[in-house]
Amino acid sequence: MITLTDVHKSFGNNHVLRGVTLHVPKGQSMVIIGGSGTGKSVTIKSVLGLVEPDKGQIEVDGRDVHQGDRDAFLARFGMLFQGGALFDSLPVWQNVAFRLLRGALKRPRPEAREIAIEKLRRVGLKPETADLFPAELSGGMQKRVGLARAIAAEPEIIFFDEPTTGLDPIMSGVINELIREIVTEMGATTMTITHDMTSVRTIADRVAMLHDGVIQWEGPIGEMDAADDPYLQQFIHGRAEGPIEAVR
């Protein structure tokens, strides 16, 4: 469904992506792992068109992502941002129903609010949360609201950028379970970026490891532990010794 072919991206002298090639099959949950600064976020932002690659091709369902109707293309996506990226000036329900209040998917306000409250309930938040502002929520609640916003318009493709960063282990577990449940029930194709190996094991159907701007290893989650790639093994076991340089 999503295919990246030889994607390159540099920021000045910093060559972040040096030929990323990756295929995410329809309905699969692909988790991208890798050290900080290896280009995981740049990879998914390239798919969304938030970052323009210098070279290479990115296709969704065989169509170049940079061609065609941009609004229609983006309407197929939902994204959970690392920090939530909730709009401070809007109450929670308007954040969740943002897409349903304007544009092609616009619904009447009462209906959009109903859907927002339903999605909030789906991620374990009470209806009273709907009228709060993002600044009044804890980090975990903000992630849940971000998740509710990502699924509000029932997109075919959902991206999760570091869904558990900054959360305690229990809340991380809750978010991981929620993502897995939602992805399964919606049948969506997903790409998740994470450092958290618990997230990887909960969310992933397939895993890709990004290192030095290329996909170092890619395969089903079931084969990850037995893989003989030394980079992958060092990363998933969190070893300081190995081919990946650890700065002390």
Q: Does residue 45 touch other proteins according to CB under 8 A?
A: yes
In angstroms, the CA 38 to CA 110 distance is: 44
From the list 58-66, 87-95, 193-201, 208-216, the region that binds other proteins by CB under 8 A is 87-95
From the list 3-11, 42-50, 200-208, 238-246, the region that binds other proteins by CB under 8 A is 42-50
Tell me the three state secondary structure of residue 55: strand
Q: Does residue 154 touch other proteins according to CB under 8 A?
A: no
**Shortest distance, CB of residue 41 to other proteins, whole angstroms?**
10
**Shortest distance, CB of residue 220 to other proteins, whole angstroms?**
28
Q: Does residue 52 touch other proteins according to CB under 8 A?
A: no
Q: Does residue 98 touch other proteins according to CB under 8 A?
A: yes
Q: Does residue 186 touch other proteins according to CB under 8 A?
A: no
Alpha carbon separation from 206 to 22, 49, 209, 210 (Å, rounded): 11, 23, 10, 13
Q: Does residue 56 touch other proteins according to CB under 8 A?
A: no
**Shortest distance, CB of residue 234 to other proteins, whole angstroms?**
30
Binding residue for other proteins, selected from 99, 119, 144, 211, defined by CB under 8 A? 99
**Shortest distance, CB of residue 218 to other proteins, whole angstroms?**
25
**Shortest distance, CB of residue 84 to other proteins, whole angstroms?**
8
Cβ contact 207:235 at 8 Å: no
Residue type, 174: V
From the list 43-51, 179-187, 205-213, 228-236, the region that binds other proteins by CB under 8 A is 43-51
Cβ contact 233:227 at 8 Å: yes
Q: Does residue 78 touch other proteins according to CB under 8 A?
A: yes
Tokens 């544009």 label which residue?
A: 103
Q: Which of 27, 63, 69 is nearest to 47 (CA)?
A: 63
Could you tell me where the DSSP H helices lie in the chain? 40-48, 70-74, 92-96, 109-122, 139-151, 169-186, 197-203, 221-224, 230-237
- Which of positions 19-38 make contact with other proteins (CB under 8 A)? none
Q: Does residue 104 touch other proteins according to CB under 8 A?
A: yes
Cβ contact 192:31 at 8 Å: yes
Q: Does residue 74 touch other proteins according to CB under 8 A?
A: yes
In terms of phi and psi (left: phi > 0; alpha: psi -120 to 50; beta: otherwise), the region of 182 is alpha
In angstroms, the CA 61 to CA 29 distance is: 16
Interface with other proteins by CB under 8 A: which residues?
45, 48-50, 70-71, 74-75, 77-79, 81-83, 85-89, 98-99, 102-104, 149
